[in-house]
Chains A and B, each alone.
Chain A
Amino acid sequence: MNAVVPRTTDASACIDSRFTVPGMRCAGCIGKIERGLAEIAGVAAARVNFSAKRVAVSHAPDLTDAQIVDALNHLGFEAQPVAENPLARDDAETKRLLRALAVAGFAMMNIMLLSVAVWSGADGITKELFHWLSAAIALPAVAYAGRPFFASAAMALRYRRTNMDVPISIGVLLATGMSVYEVLTGGEHAYFDGAVMLLFFLLAGRVLDAVMRDKARSGIASLLSRMGRGAQVAYPGGETKWVDAANLAPGMMMQVAAGEALAADGEIVTGESRFDRSMLTGESVPEPAGPGDIVHAGTINLYSPVTVRVTAAAEDTAIADIARLMDEAGQSRSKYVRVADRAARLYAPAVHSLAALTFVGWMIAGAGVHQSLLIAIAVLIITCPCALGLAVPAAQVVAAGALMKRGLLIKDGSALERLAEVDHALLDKTGTLTLGEPRPSSIAALGEEDRAVALALAQASRHPLSKSLATTLRQVGVTAADVTDIDETPGEGLRGQFAGRTVSLLRPEHGAEGLAVALRNEEREFIILFTDPWRSDAAEAIDALASLGVPSAIASGDTSDAVSKASCEFGIPATGGMSPADKLAELERRRTEGQKVLMVGDGLNDGPALAAAHVSIAPGGASDVSQQAADAVFVGEALMPVALAIRVARRTMKTVRQNLAMAAGYNVLAVPIAVAGYVTPLIAAIAMSLSSLIVVGNSLLLARAARDPK
């Protein structure tokens, strides 16, 4: 059922391309896409990855990406080509952890089997045999499954810092080392089961953490891709070739089709068009440009094909400048210390000095070096932060999963921790408080026939205003009229024949205010106005933020009076006309005042601010750069997920603190037993699994937090 029959004869000549298709929702979509693509000549195989909302197509080299995107559009799905598996490295990390977890699980089960026999009374030669067998399983397993911890601990120690992995590594290595010594000397207890179980539980925590990160990233990656990844370049000999953005050089002639994003800065040579600069400025009104005008990478050519001579490519584009600003701004955030490592800073010295004190105490009491060392190591094993290692990721994974169901993708656990600390919010206007795309505001005046005609005309065009009009009309249940001979004149509009007369959807002749189109049917003419409406729950979301003790303010790059209107509408302070550097300065000023600012913004001009803020959220319609800079992305038309995110993040941190307190409380109970020298491997195993279970159970309670409305 999922094998697609190869159609081209020579499979080795095929190349693989990936496309992101955000619109697939069900099994029907999978079947439609795979079957539909397989029918195209030149496609060898198409395989949908539903989780990542991607299609991998294996096709003949002469079939271009654009043709496949076109085919997908015909099947009814919007699609974008994506670069060759950009997330492969993260995947590899998760896979390594999973393999380590599997090995630790295998070793733990088999060692437990042998240990149970020992606990229930095997002795003499049997016991010795079982200890040797345990050692044979445990040593390679610890060496393999412990690597993630040892590597991270070694890294931390090299920079003279300490993190969670340092006490873990010391505990595991000492327990293993001592057990080996016990086995060699035919001793009483071997702690291999404890050491391997510890690794298993801790790896479970790490895997949870990695899975959460991967899931959010692949969700975000499926939204990305508006940036120009390359251009069709015309060479002097008349040949044209596709060139990747990184290989474009000044002087090249790019042929930019309508609807394509520019991959480099340049000067228009021939053609005239309008450009959507919203990625750079946040301004949603398209700007006209003709021969001699400078256009920037990242802007989208809306109307007609133009030829552009590249003036600056790759690292020198205006976009790259902003990216550099963002890199620098992101530096401060890397200094943030996560809660688990903060706990470890307190915890590790306490535990290690306790173990040392135990050793000294028993020596003074005259127990001998071997006996004292055994007891000291038992203290280390029983206090090893098994529950601590699970306390943080378990809670964060549950919270992130709950938020994902509500349309908010959190990139990692540290973002949740920072979200919980937020005390001020800075909001961009266009695309954040508003939907960021024009919507027709006056279709109520249109009669039934006019609506049907408008839909028929609008759906024939890929112009943003037409697309928006068509979507809105379809939403109110209009079916398209039978308009024939539709003809689109770039820069002017659409004309067609309906019931023997000419109907049209044109740019208004006399300058209407803002964005508008004129619909003409018979003698009637309607001006349909477009506005960028507020998100329907923007006011409620701002209220919800305020009730959480997070006052908001607006910081916009927009210079028009729309900013002061927004200020009145929502009753919060607003500043307009801010450049990316201004926004950075504002954040810096607030930081020095001790504020922890949440930045919400979408445009490329918000990128540096998103990277510099204590924590940041971008809407799903934001530019690629912004989504990559932000800590979280919310999808859909509601702004409420932003307030929800803060509330859930605070609940999560409460649960994390409860978990840490429980783990510490368990230590308070267990440590006296260990110090007194009564801990056997059996007690260590029971204590360890019990405390982990309690922590996981407590974290699962969080799933309800995101479901409650208040």
Chain B
Amino acid sequence: MNGLIFLIPVALGMGGLGLAAFFWSMRSGQYEDLDGAAQRILLDDEDPA
């Protein structure tokens, strides 16, 4: 029973963390160009910078 006092906030907190991460990733435009992200991995990084 005492375990619940820790476990429930932990479960909620982890869920909330996932939700916050999703909102953040959406706001920062990570879903704007899904096909492009798949292609960019093939780009060789030749920029000296």
User: Are A99 and B45 also in contact (CB < 8 A) when A26-B39, A50-B35, A51-B36 are?
Assistant: no
From B8, B18, B26, B35, A106 is in contact (CB under 8 Å) with B18
Q: State which residues 1-37 of B face A: CB under 8 Å.
A: 1, 4, 8, 11-12, 15-16, 18-19, 22-23, 26, 32-36
- Say yes or no: B39 contacts A30, CB within 8 Å: yes
- Bound-state CA distance A103–B23 (Å) is 10
Closest residue on chain A to residue B16 by CB atoms:
A106
Which residues from B are CB-within-8-Å of A95? 26
Which residues from A are CB-within-8-Å of B33? 48-52
- Say yes or no: A35 contacts B47, CB within 8 Å: yes
- Say yes or no: A113 contacts B47, CB within 8 Å: no
Which residues from B are CB-within-8-Å of A102? 19, 22-23
Which residues from B are CB-within-8-Å of A694? none
From B4, B15, B36, B47, A5 is in contact (CB under 8 Å) with B47
Which residues from A are CB-within-8-Å of B44? 31
Which residues from B are CB-within-8-Å of A541? none
Q: State which residues 123-155 of A face B: CB under 8 Å.
A: 126, 129, 133, 137
User: Are A49 and B36 also in contact (CB < 8 A) when A110-B15, A113-B11 are?
Assistant: yes
User: Are A27 and B26 also in contact (CB < 8 A) when A106-B15, A106-B16, A106-B18 are?
Assistant: no
The main secondary structure of chain B at its interface with chain A is helix
- Bound-state CA distance A95–B29 (Å) is 11
- Say yes or no: B49 contacts A5, CB within 8 Å: yes
A50, A113, A133 pick with most chain B CB within 10 angstroms: A50
- Say yes or no: B26 contacts A48, CB within 8 Å: no
- Bound-state CA distance A106–B22 (Å) is 11
Q: State which residues 645-667 of A face B: CB under 8 Å.
A: none
- Bound-state CA distance A374–B33 (Å) is 48
Q: State which residues 1-47 of A face B: CB under 8 Å.
A: 1-2, 5, 26-27, 30-31, 35
Closest residue on chain A to residue B49 by CB atoms:
A5
- Bound-state CA distance A126–B4 (Å) is 10
A367 at the interface (CB under 8 A from B): no
- Bound-state CA distance A106–B11 (Å) is 11
- Say yes or no: B23 contacts A99, CB within 8 Å: yes
Closest beta carbon of chain A to B15's beta carbon, Å: 5
- Say yes or no: B32 contacts A51, CB within 8 Å: yes
A-B contact pairs, 18 of them (CB 8 A): A27-B40, A30-B39, A48-B36, A49-B33, A49-B36, A50-B33, A50-B36, A50-B39, A52-B33, A95-B26, A102-B19, A102-B22, A103-B19, A106-B15, A106-B16, A106-B18, A109-B15, A110-B15
Name A's B-contacting residues (CB within 8 A). 1-2, 5, 26-27, 30-31, 35, 48-52, 95, 98-99, 102-103, 106, 109-110, 113, 126, 129, 133, 137
